[in-house]
Each structure stands twice: as structure tokens, then as C-alpha cells.
């Protein structure tokens, strides 16, 4: 009882944090138990880490789209930068830093920093553009990153790094040389350092970063810019600073997701499927369906929408079709004025109450 | 010395001279009214004073400092806060947060201490809450502190805008039609609040208003703008009885 | 000489982009929405022509006509079913719905036609033109594409300026609420805009797949994106802007493919877009907008 009292005294946002993290922890323990007794299929086990990095991506994009209110269609680009810079570092230091406990956190830091640099850069561009123009620039950015990585060759030998944008031969590596980034063939042999445990920890860390930010001075400034830019300026909010801050932070966390991704697979290549605009749009869909600005909702949407196609696997051919229809129907249900009015009159609580009344009358 | 001194301020949009040779001197602590028929350039004058538009000509001096051509943000930091004719609240945020955004530049801690929840976060947030509630109480909004600002009734939204502007600790407050859409009793109450905050926060006020009862009731001086130019300027009784002013309002 | 031939090829590809970009720009101007599914209408148009020609063995002209009719109906249906219920909702909600429609079209095509690449046989039978003793060859597709693009552009400009429907389009794009007050039927105007945009997409698909004959369920998305880039490039909402943007984009793409790197061509196109927008945030012919305070 005493504990409950303490819990109720916490302010609303802290309470929400405790609940969300508690639920994540419970799900984590449940999954581990299921794995231990062998009740979780290989397919599902393989999905655990992706669920975490998709959630991180959704949460981090929510910062730009939901909290800052700027539409970004290039989030996969930041993930791509994080994935490649992190994997590059791990491949490079695999033999010098043998302990994954040191190497992997460093890789994550590097992925986050590189992605953040590009996030800041896009943030500067963003200052001059609004709305749909911004959307198209971020989309273009994602495509540029993907294209450039596909023609980039980097190798190392005794004399240091070699770069090329033509092919691996023109790197001119010595015999003992090692091609780390091999153009469209990407990076192979990245150590598989990502585990479900680490991915869960980072999901919680990212979640805390965003929710704490939102409920702090800087987070309020970012939301003020979203709600009314002119009013925010009139009370002295530095628009430039906070827009760049939001973009940088959001990109850094997408970078973390990228590092988790690249250390969970054996061969890292940049294809339209994993880092193209389709991926960016997928993340945006998580954010919108989870509720703009609703961090917890982003995680729920990311998990459900990743599991949905898997559960529809028995109807293999139709699953993406159903996915598309679900998306359209949900958008119309959520946003159509007539549907909004209908929902107001037909809430679950309201329906239950009216049913109760009816029963009582009959009795 | 004058709190605000404006010399020869002007701006054109295309061929239209929206504000022309606008001169006004407001002493510290004064409550000045800016009136004029629709389209006279009142709000444009506000936008010039707050840096939303950059003037073509003229000099604006605030408390001895030349602020001409500064950005809206810098002008607010220099000490001018304003409200808007069409209310511009942070609609998806609570009443309390709206005021706390106003406090943004006066109570500081870093983004990192906010994310990491360092002691400075808790300390500063506590001070901010106290200050914000102080201001909200003045406007009788403290009961609604945790409401979304969009859910407030219209009159209270107008008040919240003033509260938010005051939170930036301004030397000079510009109110753009604070009584628009209010009923007579609400207007009455607003007049009291305006006189009260002037004393309590030691702030100089320039307000645009169409409600002549309010203007004549609380303003010490009135400036009349017509077609972007000065039509009259002085004590309320003189100005409001000026035949030119009556003509501009009522037509020939 | 090779430069001239690349240039012509670029203008030809650019003409196709222009025609697609018109669909984007008109819909954006009037419904203020980004119709992400526009590119996929092109893909559908391609499959319709493919079916009519290769499977039913009919004449190319008939195939193109059927495709135009089909796409027009498709465009109007999409607008009616998916977008109309969301009129007045946030632009992001509409954008996501458009993305849903785009997925839907792609997956229906995947189910009907399978995942393998279909080889599209050209609808244009005009022989290539050889100039300067064979040093310069202009393909039949190019010879048809460029004039068609010019005709469409001129016709559309006259239509918007002179016809009653065109003027109501302008009115809706300027101020929807005022247009309603003036007795313009906004729903009808938006439907007509979608019809025109989609029929243009069908024309573009015939021209594009004739020149680039591989057809899959995602064939429409990249040209769609690039055409949208072209529309933004030229200043979204502006018909001549779409033309200029499209042709510039096509020329830049072909030249960078030829002289810099074929893999980097898309990246270069996108980089130039970002640079243009940095210098001129509303595109080349776009109107500057300032929020009223």
C-alpha cells in the first residue's frame, strides 16, 4: 500500500515512464522465459531485435514529426549512416579491441555521432524550408546517402586507408589489405554483437531520452515551435537552435538503431528495401498510427505493424495487400470528420454504460 | 528617459505605404492606446516594433538601446513582449506550459541536465512552476493550469496570451486588441487586470483596441493612426473629441 | 556529337517527367495534397497497355486509349474513396493515406501480374532518325515524346486559362472557401483535376515504358518520385514550372549518367534539388508565401 502511495505522488509523466518501462521489462522477461522453455519459434526469436530497432526508429522519428512538427521522409538515411559507420568501426577494430563489451558501445557511439552530424546538416537545410518542400528534401537526402554508400569503396592496408568511388581494384591495396566497405557489396563479417538484451536496453534508453526531453525546458521550446512558430519567436525561443537540436538528436537515435541493425546481420548492404524511402515511410507510418507526439504509441505501432505481416504469413501473397488496406482504413477512421463524430458517440465506455442502463431497465 | 521612442518609422508593401513616418514616445510606466479605423496600420506598426517586419525607414529605441532591424527573438530578449490579434497560443500544451515557455529565457538549465534529470533540472523546474503559478493567479487562471490551452474559453485564452507575454519579463508590453470578443463584464475585469499588472510588474504598455470605453478608461495617452499616418496624439479627452478623429471613424 | 545526343535523350526523358509532374503539380495546387500514389498510376497504365497489346494482341493506339480511360477512372476512384473522406484533415494524414494507396496499387499489380519483370513492347513504331551521316541518332520514342509534351503543355495552359472548368480550378487553388462562395463546385473540380492528372500519367506511362521497357510493380515509384522532385524544382503548383523542372531534371540525369557515374546519377539529381531549394526555397517559378501575423 505504501508503495502505491509513493507511486501516485510521482508526477504524471514520470508515472507514464515507469509504466512503459515496466511493460517493456515484463515483455523482455516473458520472451526470455519462452526462449528458455523453447516455446518461441525461430522466426519469432529472429524478430525480437528488429522489434527493438524499429521501435527506436519510430520513437526517434516521433521527435521530428510529432514533437517538432516537421515532416521527414529521410529517416532511413540516418539509420543507414549509423549502420555503416558503426559496422565500419567494428570491422576495423575487431582484432584490436577483442572485447565486445568495449567495442560495441564504442560502435554505437560512433554510429550515433555520424548520424547526428548529418542530422544537424539537414536541420540547417530545414530552417529554410517548410512542409512538403521539407518532405521532399529529406526524401532526397535519404536517397543520396544510399546511392553514395553503394559506390564507396574503403580498404585498409599497412600504409593506411584507401578510398575509391570506382571499384575495389582501384583501391590499390597491398596484399595484406582488407576491403572493409565494398561498394554495393557493402560490409561483410561485422561481428554480431547485437543481442535482444542490448537492444532492449537501448530501446529503454532512447525512450527515456525522448520523454525526459519532452518534459523539460528544451522539449517545451521544441513543442512551442510546432504549435505556433510566430508566437514562439515572440517569446524569444531560438527557433534555429531548437530545430537543429531536434533533428540532431532524432538522427543520433536513428543512428543507434542502425548500429543495432548492422550488428544483427552478417552482410550489410544498402538497398532500396532496408534504407530506401520505403523504409522511411514505413517508420513514418508507425509514428502516425501510434499517434503524433505519443512516444509510447510509436513503440506499440512499431511492434504491432512489424508482427502483423508476420502473422499474416500464412496468406503470404495477400499480406502486404491487407497491410495497405488496413493503413488506408485506419487513416480514414482516424481522420474523417464523420468517423471522428461517430467515435465520440460510440466510445467503448459509453457503449458499455448504455448497455448497462438498458439491462437495468429491463430488469 | 523614454521607454520606447520611435522616429520616422515606415514600411511599404508593394506600392502601399502601410505605415508612414510613425513617431511615438512612450515614457516609462505609461499606458498608451493605439487606435484607428480598420486597415489603418495598427497591427503592422506592432509587427514593425517586434521585428516581424523589417522597417524601410526609421529608428526604434527601447530604453536607450537601438533595436531597429533586430529579429523578433532578439527584440523579445531586449524587453518587448506582445499578444496577437488572432490568438496564437501553444494549443496542444497546457496552460502552465504556455506560461513556462514564456519563462524560457529567464530560467535556464541545459538540455543535457533536462534529459539526465540532474539536480539543476528539479531545482529550476520548481522555481519555474512557482513563478508561473504566481502569474497565473494574477489572471485567475491557476485553477485551469493543467488544462490544454485550446480548451480554455475565448476570454481566458486572451488572458493566457498576456500571461505568457508577461512571463518573458518585458519592459514593454504590446497588446493587440486584448478585449476583442469579450462581453462587457469580461472587458471590465480585463481593464482591472491590465492596470494591476502595470503596477505589479512595472511594465510600460501600448495597446491596440477598438473598445473606446476601455481605451478612454485606462489609457493615459492615445495615438490615432489613419492610412498609416498619425492623425492625432495626446490625452484621451482631447484626442477623442478631435473632429478629424471623429471624421475618420464615422466618415464624412 | 555524343553530347547533343545525350542532350536530346535528356530532353526526351525530361518531357516524360514533365507530363507526370503536371499531375503532381495540379493536384497539389488544387487539393493541397501530395498524391504519393501518382507514380503507381503510371505503373498501372503500363500494365494495362502491356495486357491489351501483348496478351490481347490489339493495336498500340487502342491500347493507349484503353489505358488512358482506365487510369482516369482509377484516379477518380482513388480520389473518391481514399482522399475525399479526408478533406480538411491534416496534410500528414492525407499523405499517409496516399502512401497506403500506393502500397495497395503495387500489391494488387504484384498479385495480378507476378513478381517477374515484364518486357514492354514499344507503342511507337516510328523509325529512328539518323542525322549527320549516322553520327546522331534520334529514336522514334524521342521524336514522339517531345512534341506530345509540348502539345499537352500548350493545351493544358489554354484549358486552365480559357475554359470555365479551368478557371474554377484556378479559383479553388487560390482560395477554396471563397471559390465555394462564388458557386464553384469544389468536389467536382478536384475530381476533374485527378482525372486530368491520371490521364496524363497514362500518356506518360506509354511514352516512358516505350523508351525504358522493363515493367514491374514498383516501376512507377522512382519516376513518380523524380517527377515530384521536378514539380518542386520548378515551383509546385505552377504548370510551366513543372515543364521546366521536368526537362532540367531529365537533362541533368542523363548527362550525369553519361559523364559522371551511372550509379550516382540519382544522387546528383537530388543534390541539385537540395541546392536549388536552399537558394530558392519555393522552387524556380514558385510563389513566395508569407504567413500573415
Amino acid A4: pLDDT: 56
Q: Which residues have CB under 8 Å from B1's CB, separation 6+?
A: B28, B63, B64
- pLDDT > 70? residue A6: no
Cα of C293 to nearest chain B Cα, Å: 8
Q: Over range A44-73, report the average pLDDT.
A: 94
All three cell numbers of B42, joined, read: 495598427
Whether the CA torsion B135, B141, B145, B149 is positive or negative: it is negative
Average pLDDT, stretch C47-57? 90
At A51, list the grid cell.
522489434
Element housing B21 (H / E)? strand B16-27
Q: How far is C93 from chain A (nearest CA, A)?
A: 7
Distances A318 to A203, A327, B123, C104, C108 between C-alpha atoms, Å? 31, 14, 56, 10, 9
DSSP state of B229: E
Domain boundaries in chain C? Answer: 12-219
CA C95 to the chain's CA centroid: 17
User: Over chain C, what HEC string results?
Assistant: CHHHHHHHHHHHHHHHHHHHHHHHHHHHHHHCCCCCCHHHHHHHHHHHHHHHHHHCCCCHHHHHHHHHHHHHHHHHHHHHHHHHHHCCCCHHHHHHHHHHHHHHHHHHHHHHHCCCCEECCCCCCCCCEEECCCCEEECHHHHHHHHHHHHHHHHHHHHHHHCHHHHHHHHHHHCHHHHHHCCCCHHHHHHHHHHHHHHHHHHHHHHHHHHCCEECCCCCHHHHHHHHHHHHHHCCCCHHHHHHHHHHHHHHHHHHHHHCCCCCHHHHHHHHHHHHHHHCCCCCCCCCCCCCC
Residues facing residue B233 across a β-bridge = B223
Q: How far apart are CA B20 and CA B8, in angstroms?
A: 7
Provide, as residue numbers in chain C, all residues whose Cβ is less than 8 Å from the Cβ of A136.
228-229, 232, 273
pLDDT at C112: 92
Residues of chain B numbered 43-72 and touching chain A (CB < 8 Å)? 50, 52, 71-72
Given CA atoms B126, B131, B135, B138 in this order, what sign does their dihedral have? positive
Nearest CA in chain A to B167: A235
Residue B252: per-residue pLDDT? 55
Contacts of A253 (CB under 8 A, 6+ apart): A56, A59, A60, A63, A112, A206, A209, A210
Beta bridge partners of B65: B62
Nearest CA in chain C to B88: C293
What are the grid coordinates assigned to C243, written together? Answer: 515543364
pLDDT band (50, 70, 90) for residue A173: confident
Q: Examine the pLDDT at A10 and tell me if it is beyond 80.
A: no
- Chain B: touching chains (3 or more CB pairs < 8 Å): A, C
Of B88, B117, B125, the CB nearest to A228: B88
Q: What is the pLDDT of residue A249?
A: 97
Smallest Cβ–Cβ distance between B101 and the set A209, A224, A230 belongs to A224
What is the sign, positive or negative, of the torsion defined by CA atoms of A85, A91, A92, A97?
Answer: positive
**How many whole angstroms separate alpha carbon A96 and alpha carbon A123?**
36
Residue of A nearest to B149 (CA): A227
CA-based nearest distance A69→chain B, Å: 12
Cβ contacts of C228 on chain A, cutoff 8 Å: 136
Mean pLDDT computed over C123-131: 79
Strands (E), chain A: 153-157, 160-164, 178-182, 187-188, 267-268
Indicate yes or no: CB of A332 within 8 angstroms of CB of C85.
yes
Cell of B80: 518587448
When pLDDT is averaged across residues A302-311 and rounded to a whole number, the result is 85
B213's CB contacts (< 8 A; 6+ apart) are B187
Q: How far apart are CA C215 and CA C33, in angstroms?
A: 27
**Chain B CA closest to residue A66:** B92
Above pLDDT 70, what percent of chain A? 94
Three-state DSSP class for residue B227: coil
Rounded-to-integer distance, Cα A243 and Cα A251, Å: 12
pLDDT tens track for C133-154:
777 778 888 888 999 999 999 9
Predicted confidence at residue C15, as pLDDT, reads 94
Would the pLDDT of A164 be above 70?
yes
What is the reported pLDDT for A9? 53
User: A245 touching B, CB under 8 A?
Assistant: yes
The nearest CA of chain C is from the CA of B87 a distance in Å of 10
Q: What is the mean predicted confidence (pLDDT) over A193-222?
A: 96
- Per-residue cell: B212: 473606446
Which secondary structure element, helix H or strand E, spans residue A118, and what is its range?
helix A100-126
pLDDT class of C93 with cuts at 50, 70, 90: confident
CA C38 to CA C98: how far, in whole Å? 9
Largest pairwise CA distance in chain C? 65
**φ/ψ (deg, to 5) at B61:** -120, 125
Q: Which of A91-100, A119-128, B175-184, C195-204 has the lowest mean pLDDT?
A: A119-128
- Residue A213 CA to its chain's centroid (Å): 17
Burial class (CB in 10 A: 0-12, 13-18, 19+), C114: exposed
CA distance A25 to A44: 18
Nearest CA of chain A to the CA of C236: how many Å?
9
Mean pLDDT of A333-346: 80
Cα–Cα dist A244/A249, whole Å? 8
pLDDT at res. A73? 87
Asked if A324 contacts C104 with a C-beta cutoff of 8 angstroms, the reply is yes
Q: Are C30 and C38 a contacting pair, CB within 8 Å?
A: no
Q: Enumerate the residues of chain C whose CB falls inside 8 A of the CB of residue B52.
A: 293
A3 to chain B, any CB pair closer than 8 A? The answer is no
Question: Of A208, A221, A239, which has the smallest distance from its Cβ to B101's Cβ?
Answer: A221
User: In angstroms, how far is the first alpha carbon of chain C from the final one?
Assistant: 56
> C28, C226, C281: best mutation site toward chain A, by most A Cβ within 10 Å?
C281
pLDDT at A349 over 70: no
Ranking A333-347, B60-74, C96-110 by mean pLDDT, the lowest is: A333-347
Per-residue pLDDT of chain B (252 residues; tens, 9 = 90+): 789 999 999 999 888 889 999 999 999 999 999 998 888 899 999 999 999 999 999 999 999 999 999 999 999 999 999 999 999 999 999 999 999 999 999 999 999 999 999 999 999 999 999 999 999 999 999 999 999 999 999 889 999 999 999 999 999 999 999 998 888 888 999 999 999 999 999 999 999 998 888 888 899 999 999 988 889 999 998 988 888 888 887 765
Burial of C137 (0-12, 13-18, 19+ CB in 10 A): middle
d(CA C45, CA C94): 23
A27 has a pLDDT exceeding 60: yes
Largest CA distance in chain B: 67
Separation CA B61–CA B130 (nearest Å): 33
Q: Are A284 and C96 contacting, i.e. CB atoms less than 8 angstroms apart? A: yes
Average pLDDT over residues C264-279: 87
Give the span between the Cα atoms of B248 and B223, in whole angstroms. Answer: 13
Residue in chain A closest to B109 (alpha carbons) equals: A217
Q: Which of C34, C82, C283 sits opposite A328 (nearest CB)?
A: C82
Confidence of residue A210 (pLDDT cuts 50, 70, 90): very high
Average pLDDT of chain A to the nearest whole number: 88
pLDDT of residue B168: 96
SS3 content of chain A, % helix, strand, coil (to 5): 75, 5, 20
Q: Span C42-46, mean pLDDT? A: 95
Residue B71: Cβ within 10 Å count: 17
- Looking at the complex, does the CB of residue A336 fall below 8 Å from at least one CB of chain B? no
Stretch among A5-19, B125-139, B228-242, C76-90 having the lowest mean pLDDT: A5-19
Asked if B76 and A233 come within 8 Å (Cβ–Cβ), the reply is yes
| Phi then psi dihedrals of residue C238, to 5 deg | -105, 125
- Which residues in chain B are closer than 8 Å to A246, comparing Cβ atoms? none
Q: Could you give the 3-state DSSP secondary structure of residue A158?
A: coil
From chain B, pick out residues whose CB is under 8 angstroms from the CB of C293: 43, 47, 52, 84
Q: Which of C170, C174, C277 is nearest to C234 (CA)?
A: C277
A12 vs A81 pLDDT, higher one: A81
Amino acid at each position: 500500500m505504501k508503495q502505491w502511495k509513493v507511486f501516485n505522488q510521482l508526477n504524471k509523466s514520470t508515472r507514464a515512464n515507469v509504466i512503459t518501462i515496466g511493460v517493456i521489462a515484463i515483455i523482455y522477461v516473458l520472451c526470455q522465459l519462452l526462449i528458455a522453455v523453447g516455446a518461441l519459434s525461430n522466426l519469432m526469436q529472429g524478430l525480437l531485435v528488429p522489434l527493438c530497432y524499429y521501435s527506436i526508429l519510430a520513437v526517434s522519428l516521433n521527435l521530428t514529426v510529432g514533437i517538432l512538427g516537421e515532416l521527414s521522409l529521410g529517416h532511413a538515411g540516418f539509420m543507414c549512416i549509423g549502420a555503416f559507420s558503426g559496422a565500419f568501426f567494428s570491422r576495423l577494430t575487431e582484432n584490436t579491441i577483442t572485447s565486445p563489451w568495449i567495442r560495441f558501445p564504442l560502435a554505437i557511439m560512433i554510429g550515433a555521432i555520424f548520424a547526428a552530424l548529418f542530422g544537424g546538416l539537414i536541420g540547417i537545410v530545414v530552417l529554410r524550408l517548410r512542409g512538403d518542400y521539407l518532405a521532399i528534401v529529406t526524401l532526397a537526402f535519404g536517397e543520396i546517402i544510399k546511392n553514395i554508400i553503394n559506390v564507396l569503396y574503403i580498404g585498409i592496408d599497412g600504409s593506411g586507408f584507401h578510398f575509391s568511388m570506382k571499384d575495389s581494384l582501384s583501391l590499390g591495396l597491398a596484399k595484406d589489405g582488407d576491403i572493409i566497405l565494398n561498394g554495393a557489396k557493402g560490409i561483410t563479417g561485422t561481428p554480431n554483437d547485437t543481442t535482444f538484451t542490448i537492444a532492449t536496453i537501448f530501446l529503454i534508453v532512447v525512450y527515456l531520452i525522448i520523454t525526459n526531453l519532452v518534459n523539460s525546458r528544451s522539449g517545451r521550446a521544441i513543442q512551442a515551435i510546432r504549435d505556433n512558430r510566430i508566437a514562439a519567436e515572440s517569446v524569444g525561443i531560438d527557433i534555429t537552435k531548437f530545430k537543429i537540436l531536434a533533428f540532431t538528436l532524432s538522427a543520433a537515435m536513428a543512428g543507434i538503431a542502425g548500429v543495432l541493425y548492422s550488428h544483427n546481420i552478417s552482410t550489410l548492404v544498402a538497398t532500396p528495401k532496408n534504407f530506401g524511402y520505403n523504409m522511411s515511410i514505413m517508420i513514418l507510418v508507425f509514428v502516425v498510427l501510434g499517434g503524433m507526439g505519443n512516444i509510447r504509441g510509436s513503440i506499440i505501432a512499431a511492434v504491432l505493424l512489424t508482427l502483423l505481416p508476420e502473422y499474416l504469413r500464412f496468406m503470404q501473397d495477400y499480406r502486404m495487400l491487407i497491410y495497405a488496406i488496413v493503413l488506408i482504413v485506419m487513416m480514414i477512421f482516424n481522420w474523417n470528420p464523420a468517423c471522428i463524430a461517430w467515435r465520440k458517440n460510440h466510445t467503448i465506455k459509453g457503449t458499455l454504460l448504455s448497455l448497462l442502463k438498458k439491462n437495468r431497465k429491463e430488469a | 528617459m523614454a521607454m520606447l521612442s520611435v522616429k520616422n518609422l515606415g514600411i511599404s508593401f508593394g506600392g502601399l505605404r502601410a505605415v508612414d513616418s510613425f513617431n511615438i514616445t512612450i515614457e516609462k510606466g505609461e499606458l498608451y492606446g493605439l487606435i484607428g479605423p480598420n486597415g489603418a496600420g495598427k497591427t503592422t506598426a506592432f509587427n514593425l516594433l517586434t521585428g516581424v517586419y523589417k522597417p524601410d525607414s526609421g529608428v526604434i529605441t527601447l530604453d536607450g538601446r537601438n533595436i531597429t532591424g533586430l529579429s523578433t527573438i532578439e527584440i523579445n530578449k531586449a524587453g518587448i513582449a506582445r499578444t496577437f490579434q488572432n490568438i496564437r497560443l501553444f494549443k496542444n500544451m497546457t496552460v502552465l506550459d504556455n506560461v513556462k515557455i514564456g519563462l524560457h529565457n529567464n530560467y535556464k538549465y541545459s538540455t543535457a541536465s533536462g534529459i539526465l534529470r540532474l539536480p539543476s533540472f528539479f531545482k529550476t523546474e520548481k522555481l519555474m512552476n512557482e513563478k508561473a503559478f504566481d502569474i497565473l493567479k494574477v489572471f485567475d487562471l491557476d485553477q485551469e493550469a493543467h488544462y490544454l490551452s485550446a480548451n480554455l474559453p475565448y476570454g481566458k485564452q486572451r488572458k493566457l496570451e498576456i500571461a505568457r507575454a508577461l512571463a518573458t519579463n518585458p519592459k514593454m508590453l504590446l497588446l493587440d486588441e486584448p478585449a476583442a470578443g469579450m462581453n462587457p463584464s469580461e472587458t471590465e475585469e480585463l481593464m482591472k487586470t491590465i492596470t494591476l499588472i502595470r503596477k505589479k510588474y512595472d511594465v510600460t504598455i501600448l495597446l491596440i483596441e477598438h473598445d473606446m470605453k476601455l481605451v478612454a478608461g485606462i489609457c493615459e495617452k492615445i495615438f490615432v493612426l489613419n492610412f498609416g499616418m498619425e492623425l492625432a496624439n495626446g490625452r484621451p479627452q482631447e484626442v477623442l473629441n478631435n473632429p478629424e478623429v471623429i471624421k475618420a471613424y464615422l466618415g464624412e | 556529337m555524343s553530347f547533343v545526343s545525350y542532350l536530346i535523350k535528356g530532353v526526351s526523358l525530361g518531357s516524360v517527367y514533365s507530363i507526370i509532374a503536371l499531375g503532381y503539380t495540379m493536384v497539389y495546387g488544387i487539393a493541397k495534397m501530395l498524391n504519393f500514389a501518382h507514380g503507381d498510376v503510371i505503373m498501372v497504365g503500363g500494365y494495362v497497355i502491356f495486357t491489351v497489346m501483348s496478351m490481347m494482341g490489339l493495336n498500340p493506339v487502342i491500347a493507349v486509349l484503353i489505358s488512358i480511360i482506365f487510369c482516369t477512372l482509377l484516379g477518380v476512384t482513388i480520389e473518391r474513396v481514399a482522399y475525399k473522406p479526408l478533406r480538411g484533415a491534416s496534410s500528414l494524414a492525407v499523405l499517409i493515406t496516399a502512401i497506403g494507396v500506393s502500397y495497395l496499387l503495387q500489391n494488387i499489380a504484384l498479385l495480378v501480374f507476378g513478381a517477374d519483370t515484364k518486357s514492354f513492347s514499344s507503342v511507337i513504331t516510328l523509325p529512328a532518325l539518323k542525322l549527320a551521316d549516322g553520327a546522331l541518332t534520334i529514336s522514334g520514342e524521342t521524336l514522339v515524346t517531345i512534341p506530345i509534351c509540348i502539345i499537352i503543355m500548350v493545351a493544358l495552359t489554354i484549358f486552365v486559362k480559357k475554359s470555365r472548368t479551368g478557371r474554377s480550378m484556378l479559383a479553388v487553388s487560390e482560395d477554396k472557401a471563397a471559390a465555394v462562395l462564388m458557386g464553384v463546385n469544389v468536389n467536382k473540380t478536384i475530381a476533374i483535376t485527378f482525372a486530368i492528372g491520371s490521364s496524363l500519367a497514362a500518356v506518360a506511362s506509354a511514352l516512358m515504358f516505350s523508351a525504358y521497357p522493363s515493367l514491374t510493380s514498383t516501376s512507377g515509384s522512382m519516376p513518380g518520385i523524380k517527377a515530384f522532385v521536378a514539380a518542386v524544382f520548378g515551383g509546385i503548383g505552377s504548370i510551366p514550372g513543372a515543364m521546366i523542372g521536368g526537362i532540367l531534371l531529365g537533362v541533368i540525369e542523363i548527362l550525369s549518367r553519361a559523364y559522371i557515374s551511372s550509379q550516382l546519377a540519382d544522387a546528383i539529381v537530388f543534390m541539385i534539388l537540395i541546392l536549388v531549394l536552399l537558394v530558392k526555397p519555393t522552387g524556380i517559378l514558385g510563389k513566395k508565401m508569407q504567413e500573415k501575423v
